[in-house]
Amino acid sequence: MLNQQFIDELSAKMRNLFAGTPVRDIEANTRAMLTSMFARLDLVTRHEFDIQTEILARTREKLAALEAQLAALEQGRKL
């Protein structure tokens, strides 16, 4: 694996190299465009997604239990 310090130094050198070139402007414009696009999207955080996944799993378990109870009650009536 690469050393994090090496990556940080390389990143800093590249930022300094591109600071005075059109690449820097393109990067800034692209970043602004992407930020704007993501702001308009209706996105949720991973944490919120995980919470909703847990809620859905519990709901499915409860539904399965209720369906089993209903099936048992229906069997009781048919007999």
Query: What is the gyration radius of the CA atoms in the chain, in angstroms?
Result: 27
Report whether pLDDT(3) > 50: yes
Q: How confident is the model at residue 79 (pLDDT cuts 50, 70, 90)?
A: low
Tell me, yes or no, whether 50 and 39 share the same domain.
Answer: no
Domain that holds residue 53: 44-79
Tell me, yes or no, whether 48 and 26 share the same domain.
Answer: no
| pLDDT per position as a tens digit, 22-45 | 777 787 788 888 888 878 888 888
- Tokens coding 32: 């602004």
Tell me, yes or no, whether 55 and 79 share the same domain.
Answer: yes
**Cα 32 versus chain centre, distance:** 20
Single-letter residue type at 77 = R
Nearest to 60 by CA among 68, 71, 50, 48: 68
**Looking at per-residue confidence, does 79 or 40 come out higher?**
40
